[in-house]
């Protein structure tokens, strides 16, 4: 049975992707916030969009530093992800509070987080006001991943190496199984096209026969 969803909650239908912990650094200060509003924008050059509300402390950290890093956590950081979204870096030092271990990034000043399986370093290329958020367009300057977790895509073989996904509110998940779709061979595609064309011709010929039969019957009835 279908049910209506509030317009503002429609975004949750698109949820389920990996949550990211966005880290920033500005004038010696570090900050981290959980992020669900992000998306790939371009392959060449590699661009990623992150949408941040102007009321967030991270918003101005990104604006002034003109860079950020995305850290893809595992289930190990489940409770940290939720906690980090409920406190503000403008009042508290989140790294002092959580004692999260970090390591140095290759191309940006923002710290990278241990307990993650993927890291993306970005420099800001552009920024746009989109509704009540600012969409920062980041150009990827470096990226890395745990080999046991990612090899061109998420492997999902080790439960402790699976990326943490955000479902909304305080609900999270991990992916259960990787499925591989069959890639059709060129010969199969050609065969399907020919079969489809032949079927279309048969349908057209059948329609023409029926039309001729109907015309013949009409002439017969009229004598």
Q: What is the pLDDT of residues 141-163, one digit of tens each?
A: 999 999 999 998 999 999 999 99
Domain membership of residue 205 (yes or no) is yes
Query: Residue 2 domain-assigned?
Result: no
The answer to whether residues 150 and 186 belong to one domain is no
Residue range of the domain that includes 36: 7-173
Q: Tell me, yes or no, whether 1 lies in a domain.
A: no
Q: Does any domain span residue 208? A: yes
With respect to residue 214, please indicate whether it lies within any of the assigned structural domains: yes
Tell me how far apart the alpha carbons of residues 158 and 170 are, in angstroms, rounded to a whole number.
24
Tell me, yes or no, whether 16 lies in a domain.
Answer: yes
Residues 223, 153: one domain? no
Coil/strand/helix, residue 188 = helix
What does residue 126 show for φ and ψ, rounded to 5 degrees?
A: -165, 170
203 lies in the same domain as 142: no
- Per-residue tokens: 65: 């530093």
- What is the number of domains present in the chain? 2
- Percent over 90 (pLDDT), the chain: 66
Alpha-carbon distances, residue 145 vs 64, 89, 148, 152 (angstroms): 27, 27, 9, 10
Instruction: Examine the domain organization and report whether 45 and 117 are in the same domain.
Output: yes
Alpha-carbon dihedral 25, 68, 64, 139, rounded to 10 degrees: 150
Which residue ranges of the chain lie beneath pLDDT 50? none
User: What local confidence, expressed as pLDDT, does residue 201 receive?
Assistant: 59
Same domain, 143 and 219: no
Same domain, 187 and 164: no
């Amino acid at each position: 049975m279908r049910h209506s969803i509030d317009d503002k909650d429609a975004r949750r239908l698109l949820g389920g992707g990996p949550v990211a912990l966005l880290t920033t650094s500005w004038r010696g200060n570090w900050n981290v916030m959980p992020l669900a509003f992000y998306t790939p924008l371009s392959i060449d050059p590699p661009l990623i969009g992150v949408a941040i509300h102007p009321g967030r402390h991270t918003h101005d950290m990104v604006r002034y530093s003109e860079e950020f890093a995305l850290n893809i956590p595992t289930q190990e950081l489940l409770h940290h992800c939720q906690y980090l979204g409920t406190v503000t870096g403008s009042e508290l030092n989140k790294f002092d509070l959580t004692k999260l271990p970090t390591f140095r990034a290759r191309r940006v000043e923002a710290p990278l987080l241990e307990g993650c399986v993927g890291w993306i370093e970005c420099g800001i290329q552009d920024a746009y006001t989109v509704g009540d958020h600012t969409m920062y367009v980041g150009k990827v300057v470096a990226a890395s991943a745990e080999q046991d977790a990612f090899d061109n895509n998420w492997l999902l073989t080790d439960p402790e190496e699976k990326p943490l996904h955000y479902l909304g509110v305080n609900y999270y998940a991990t992916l259960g199984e990787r499925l591989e779709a069959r890639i059709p061979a060129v010969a199969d595609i050609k065969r399907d096209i020919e079969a489809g064309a032949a079927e279309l011709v048969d349908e057209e010929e059948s329609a023409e026969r029926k039309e001729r039969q109907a015309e013949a019957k009409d002439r017969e009835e009229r004598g």
